[in-house]
Amino acid sequence: MLSRLERRNLRNGLLFISPWIIGFLGLQIYPISYSFYLSLTEYTGFGRPRFIGFQNFVELTLGQDMFLFTAIRNTFEYTAMAVPIGIVVAIILALCMNQRVKEVSVYRAILYLPSILPAFAVMFVWLLFTNAQFGLLNQFFIFLGLPVIDWIGDPRFTKPSLVILAQYGAGGPALIFLASLRSIPKDLYESASIDGAGVIRKFFKITLPMITPIILYQLIMGLSAGLQVFTQAYIISGGARGGTVGSQNSLLFYVLHIWRSAFMHSRMGYAACLSILFFVVSVIIAMIVFRWGRSWVNYDV
């Protein structure tokens, strides 16, 4: 039995966290539960859902969706390129931010600013910057005597162009890496200097092992963001109403495929089924990465 004081503390605690509880139940648990229900129905978004059992899952597993494997392949190819490159770029930016130079705070702000810009605004600027006819990037290539690249129209370069664009947001992860760099004891570097270690050896033997927990965190966050890529492809293709997404569907990512199934083809039930598959695969990938991280993540000083 709880005492009167304990009951009062429990009541006050629940009262203080009630906004979070309401938000969690209404914006997390309910949508997920409703998605499971919709996945068992045929629903256009109007009227009442019609229960059809596991028919959507059967269609999913039998490969009747001609765009499913294209969307999966494009998503994993983009994620496989964007995540490791993003981590490397963020570490390099953090190392630059950590230098003891005059007005370093100004440089940190400049490096961080692109990460807070709206994604659609950055995407429109990127479309102008990489335009095959008058884009500044291709004009620079022409000046150097290099061949012009159609960064959006050529399927070989569509995903790499988005990978490059994604590095505009590396300032946010770089600040987290910077905090991790600042937490490394200076005694380790002083001892290494006495032993004759150079800058490169210090980085690989001290800095890199000490920031592995943050690398694991950024890896998980990067995988989550990469698998959910949507905005860039949607802006380039305008939703691709009735057409291909990028040249030869090279930008048909999984989340965009869910959106098209739900809002273009009016198949809310099948889109919910796709969402459940995405959720399950994301959880499995996260578990694999966490288990893999046990072999290389260092939590000791």
Phi, psi of 125 (to 5 degrees): -65, -40
pLDDT for the residue numbered 267: 93
Contact 298, 209 (CB under 8 A): yes
pLDDT for the residue numbered 247: 66
Nearest-Å Rg of the Cα atoms of the chain is 24
Q: What CA–CA distances, in Å, run from 124 to 120, 127, 238, 286?
A: 6, 5, 12, 32
How many angstroms separate the CA atoms of 251 and 185, rounded? Answer: 45
pLDDT for the residue numbered 85: 96
Contact 86, 149 (CB under 8 A): no
What tens digit of pLDDT does each residue of 69-96 get? 999 999 999 999 999 999 999 999 999 8
Q: Which residues contact 205 (CB under 8 A, 6 or more apart)?
A: 192, 197
Q: Which residues contact 289 (CB under 8 A, 6 or more apart)?
A: 216, 219, 220, 223
How many angstroms separate the CA atoms of 40 and 278, rounded? Answer: 16
pLDDT for the residue numbered 241: 56
pTM: 0.88
For the chain, the domains span 4-58, 67-293
With a cut of 70, list the residues of the chain below it in pLDDT.
Answer: 238-247, 301
Could you tell me how far CA 276 lies from the centroid of its own chain? 18
Two tokens, residue 33: 């539960």
**According to the CATH classification, is domain 67-293 in 1.20.59.10?**
no
How many angstroms separate the CA atoms of 102 and 80, rounded? Answer: 37
Q: Which residue type sits at 93?
A: L
